[in-house]
Structure 1
Amino acid sequence: MIDTEALRTQPELTGENIVLAQLDESCFEPAWRALREPETIRLTGTHTVFTEDQIRTWLASRPGLDDRADYAILRKEDRGYLGEVVLSDFDGDNRSAAFRIALTGPDVFGKGYGTEATKLILDFAFDVVGVHRVSLEVFDFNPRAQRVYEKCGFVREGLQREALWWDGEWHDVVTMAILKNDPRP
């Protein structure tokens, strides 16, 4: 059974170098900058061009939801915004959820923040919310993210051939998942 109250109240999750805190309108400025960062846009395959009002409305609507968890990834030392990590698409019957993460840009890539955020959110998903399976999709041109997911225990399950059109080329989407009883290094 999915603990929807844990999703609604969404506790802060603290790691060694980061804190995951409820994503809300206080994150607008850095989130807005990240949505205009070319490498972040490419790695997330985001074709949509958002307006400031859309992002303000979206961020303000995140707290209190019982069907997803939207977390801001904050640097522990100064609570600087590093990105977001999300559990969504919960299926209560099958105790599953989808995962996604987006860091703000190349200045925070390769520093372990994504790995730590992924491990924290998986612990929350399995040990608090009560899911059995967490799945994700990652583009073929992002091997760095694929390595992070594998390091966190995700297993490659499939390939969606030519599922993303980006910069005049088709790209494959790799599907991965982790189960509650899989090793979580």
Structure 2
Amino acid sequence: MADFSIKPTLTGDLVVLRPVTEDDVPALLPMFDDPEIARLTGAHTDFDEPALRRWYGSRGAQDDRLDLAVVERATGRVVGEAVLNEWDRDNESCAFRICFTPSGIGRGLGTEATRLIVSHAFEALGLHRVWLEVYAFNPRARRAYEKAGFRVEGTLRGALLWEGERVDATVMAALAPEWGASGAAVTP
């Protein structure tokens, strides 16, 4: 099994996924400033640009995760990020997360980006399982993950405390043997 030290560029019809850099921060800032995106992702943290520049500037040196910028092919604009993290080498699995700026939402970019990075996880990295969590108040994301080939595994009850209310998180996963069989994979 390969590690995450190689940072690929993955190309689809709508998006290109490429290694994220600190130069992408200005394009990604709307993602961190939008209150609805913070709610849907459960982000309680306030981010400032210098901290984000340090964070994204260090992603290329990480060999235990893969952080890719999502670039819309039609415009060349960075509209989000797709990440494989929480790598468990012994069990050939990792977590997946994806987030978009407001301008990148609702146009099919996320579905293609998800398929590209998860296909990379299975085909190039040799992983068996890619999992994620999605909050109960984000049914649109859940539908997108199902469309991309993820299946529900269970519920983490009361996993998020958001504005005084407990919110469940649904755990979903895609498995390598099912991924190919489901037709979810996209050929770059």
Question: Into which bin does the TM-score normalised by the smaller protein fall?
Answer: over 0.9
Offset at 1:78? 2.5
2:70 aligns with 73
**Deviation readout 1:126-173 (Å, 9 max, x if unpaired):** 000110000000000001110111111111001011111112321100
SS of structure 2 residue aligned to 1:100:
strand
| Residues 23 and 53, structure 2, Cα contact 8 Å, conserved in 1 | no
The AA in structure 1 aligned to 2:175 is L
Give RMSD over aligned pairs. 1.1
1:147 aligns with 143
1:89 aligns with 86
**Deviation readout 1:8-62 (Å, 9 max, x if unpaired):** 2211100001000101111010222210111111111100112222111001001
**TM-score, length basis structure 2:** 0.93
Alpha-carbon distance in 2 for matches of 1:177, 1:34: 25
Stretches of structure 1 that go unaligned for 5 or more consecutive residues are none
Offset at 1:68? 0.5
Alpha-carbon distance in 1 for matches of 2:61, 2:73: 23
1:129 aligns with 125
Alpha-carbon distance in 2 for matches of 1:184, 1:132: 16
SS of structure 1 residue aligned to 2:137:
coil
Residue 101 of structure 2, aligned match among 99, 104, 129:
104
User: What is the total number of aligned residue pairs between the two structures?
Assistant: 181
Alpha-carbon distance in 1 for matches of 2:126, 2:61: 18
Alpha-carbon distance in 1 for matches of 2:64, 2:118: 16
| Residues 152 and 184, structure 1, Cα contact 8 Å, conserved in 2 | no
1:36 aligns with 33
1:24 aligns with 21
Considering fraction of residues, name the structure with more helix: 2
Alpha-carbon distance in 2 for matches of 1:120, 1:154: 13
Residue 162 of structure 1, aligned match among 158, 163, 177:
158
The AA in structure 2 aligned to 1:83 is G
Among the aligned pairs, what percent are the same residue? Answer: 45
Offset at 1:108? 2.4
**TM-score, length basis structure 1:** 0.94
Alpha-carbon distance in 2 for matches of 1:117, 1:153: 13
Stretches of structure 2 that go unaligned for 5 or more consecutive residues are none
SS of structure 1 residue aligned to 2:90:
coil
The AA in structure 1 aligned to 2:121 is A
Instruction: Write out the 4+ residue segments of structure 1 that deviate beyond 4 Å after TM superposition.
Output: none
